[in-house]
Amino acid sequence: MSAQPIPLCVDLDGTLIRSDMLFESALSLLRRNPLYLFAFALWLARGRAHLKREIARRAQVDPATLPYDERVVSWLREQQGQRPQVLCTASDATLARGVADHLGLFDAVMASDGERNLAGRQKGDALRERYGERGFDYAGNEYRDLHIWKHARRAVVVNADSGLARAAGECCEVERVFEPARGGPRTWLKALRLHQWLKNLLVFLPLFTSHRVLEAATATSCALAFLAFGLCASGVYLLNDLFDLDADRRHPRKRLRPFAAGTLPLWQGLLAAPLLALAGLALALSISLPFAGVLACYYGLTLAYSLRLKRIVMLDVVILAALYTVRIIGGAVVIGGGLSFWLLAFSMFLFLSLAMLKRYTELHGLLGSGKAEASGRGYSVEDIPLIQSLGGASGYMSVLVLALYINSTASEALYRNPPVLWLLCPLLLYWISRVWLIAHRGRMHDDPVVFALVDRVSRVILALCAIVVAGAI
C-alpha cells in the first residue's frame, strides 16, 4: 500500500499574495467610513483573531484583484495533482476561502476563525496536530514561520532575505527559494510621486508676478514652502493609493502602482503617510504660522478629496482646481503680499479646464476599452461630450480673465509695456486648444500637468510666454 503524499501547506500574506489581507480588509472598511478606526481598537481588545473576524464580516475584498505572486501561483499549478495543497493562513477564514475558491488550487483551507489566531507557534501546532511531526511541507515568508518549519519536512521560502532561508535550512530541508520581489528606493520614489512635486512650483508664481524674485530671503522661504507642500502632497498620495487599491488594480496603468502591485508593504505606507504630513507641517511652522494654516487647509482638503470628494461628480474637478489655487495662495502668504484677484480667477478657470481634461482622458480610455463607467468615480462614457465642452469653455475663460487683466490698471502698476502682454493670449489659446485636441485623439497622459512638463511644444510655449513677460517688464 503506497504512502499518502505529503501535503504542501501555503501561507497567504506575503507568500501567495504580495500583500496582507488584514490591511487589505481594514483599508476597505476605512475607505467606506474612517470612523471604523475606533471600532478596530475595541475589536483588538478581544484579540487579533476577533479583530480579523469582525473586519472580514464587513469588508469587501475582491480576490480577483489581489496582487498574487505569479511565480508562486504558477508553481502551485505545476504541483497540483502531485500532492494535496492546503491554504494555511493567519487571515480570517472568510477571506481565505474567497481566495481559495478564486484560484481553485487548494484541497483544504486552514485559517483564523475568530477565536484562534493561526499564526506562528499556533499555526505550527495546528499543522503538527493535523499532519504529524514532519508530515507536511510549508511555504512561508516571515521569521515567525520558523516555528512552523521546525515541525515541517521541507520549507519553501518566498520573498524573504537570505538570512531567513539559511535559518529555515537549519530547521528542515529547503525545497525551493523564491527570491524577494519587494521594491527598493526607486519604488518608494515612484510611490511618493516626486514628479508631481512640480505642481508645487505654483508657490513661486506670486514671487514672480510681484517681481520680487531677486529677494534672497523671500525666495528661500518660497523654496521651503515648495518642500513643505511636497511632503504633505506625498503623504496624501500614499493614503490615496492605499484607499484606492481596488480601483487602481482594475485600471490598465494604475495597477502598476507600488501598493496596488504589492511591491511595497501596505503597513509601510500607513506609517509613512502621517510622518510625511507631520514633517511638512513642521517645516511650514518654521516659515510662518499663517502659511502653516494654509498648508493645513490644503492637507485637509486633499485628504477629504482622497477619502470622499473625488467620488462626487463635478465637485471633484472643482476641488482639484482649488488645490492648485491653494498653492498660489500659499506662495502669496509666504511673501507677505496681497492676493491678486486676477491671478486667483485666472488659475481657477485654467486649472478647472485641466481637471476636466484629466477626467476626459480617463473616460476616453474607458471608451476605447469597452467599459462604460469609471471605477471609484461617478462618471460614465456618456459624460464625455459634456466634460469636453465644459473643460474647453473653462480654459477659454482663463484667457478672457488674462485679457481683462492686461487691459486693467493693475497691469500698468507692474509692467512698463503692458500691451506686450497681449501676445500671451494667442499663445495660451493655442496651448489650450492643442491639449484638448490631443486628448480628443486619445494621446493625452493621465495627468495633463505632467504632460505639459514633458511635452516639447508645451515647453516651447512656456519659454515664449516667459520672453513676452520679460519684454513687458
User: Which residue ranges make up each domain of the chain?
Assistant: 8-178, 185-472
Record the cell numbers describing residue 192, joined without a space.
511618493
Residue 441, classed as helix, strand or coil, is: coil
What is d(CA 199, CA 233) in angstroms, rounded to the nearest whole number? 10
423 — phi, psi (to 5°)? -65, -20
Burial 59-77 (b: 16+ CB within 10 A, else e): bebebebbbbbeebeebbe
Query: What are the tens digits of pLDDT across the range 47-105?
Result: 999 999 999 999 989 999 999 999 999 999 998 989 999 999 999 999 999 999 999 99
- pTM metric for this prediction: 0.84
Provide the pLDDT for residue 210.
Answer: 82
Average pLDDT over residues 38-44: 95
Query: What are the tens digits of pLDDT across the range 18-35?
Result: 999 999 999 999 988 888
Contact 314, 322 (CB under 8 A): no
Would you say residue 161 has pLDDT above 90?
no
Q: Whole-number mean pLDDT of the chain?
A: 91
Percentage of the residues of the chain whose pLDDT score is greater than 70: 96
Average pLDDT over residues 114-138: 94
Matching residue, cell 500671451: 424
What is d(CA 430, CA 462) in angstroms, rounded to the nearest whole number? 12
Kindly report the CA angle at 98 between 93 and 101, in degrees rounded to 5? 120
Please report which confidence band the pLDDT of residue 170 belongs to, taking 50, 70 and 90 as the band edges: very high
Q: Residue length, the chain?
A: 473
- Is residue 186 packed enough to be buried (19+ CB in 10 Å), middle (13-18) or exposed (0-12)? exposed
What is d(CA 156, CA 395) in angstroms, rounded to the nearest whole number? 58
Query: What are the tens digits of pLDDT across the range 245-262?
Result: 988 898 777 888 999 999
Record the cell numbers describing residue 362, joined without a space.
480617463
What is d(CA 144, CA 196) in angstroms, rounded to the nearest whole number? 39
Query: Residues with Cβ < 8 Å from 2, sequence gap 6 or more?
Result: none
Count the neighbouring beta carbons within 10 Å of the beta carbon of residue 311. Answer: 16
What is d(CA 427, CA 395) in angstroms, rounded to the nearest whole number? 13
Using CA of residue 190, residue 191, residue 192, residue 197, what is the dihedral sign?
Answer: positive
- State the fold for domain 8-178: Rossmann fold (3.40.50)
Would you say residue 1 has pLDDT above 50?
no
Amino acid at 356: M
Average pLDDT over residues 207-233: 90
Average pLDDT over residues 358-384: 78
Record the cell numbers describing residue 206, joined without a space.
506670486
What is d(CA 437, CA 30) in angstroms, rounded to the nearest whole number? 39
Kindly report the CA angle at 440 between 437 and 446, in degrees rounded to 5? 100
Query: What are the tens digits of pLDDT across the range 374-410?
Result: 655 678 888 999 999 999 999 999 999 999 999 988 8
Count the neighbouring beta carbons within 10 Å of the beta carbon of residue 375. Answer: 15
Percentage of the residues of the chain whose pLDDT score is greater than 90: 71
Contact 360, 392 (CB under 8 A): no
110 — phi, psi (to 5°)? -120, 125
Provide the pLDDT for residue 71.
Answer: 95
Query: What are the tens digits of pLDDT across the range 288-340?
Result: 999 999 999 999 999 888 878 888 899 999 999 999 999 999 999 999 876 78
Please report which confidence band the pLDDT of residue 2 belongs to, taking 50, 70 and 90 as the band edges: very low
**What is the CATH number assigned to the segment(s) 185-472?**
1.10.600
Residue 236, classed as helix, strand or coil, is: helix
177 — phi, psi (to 5°)? -125, 125
Would you say residue 42 has pLDDT above 50?
yes
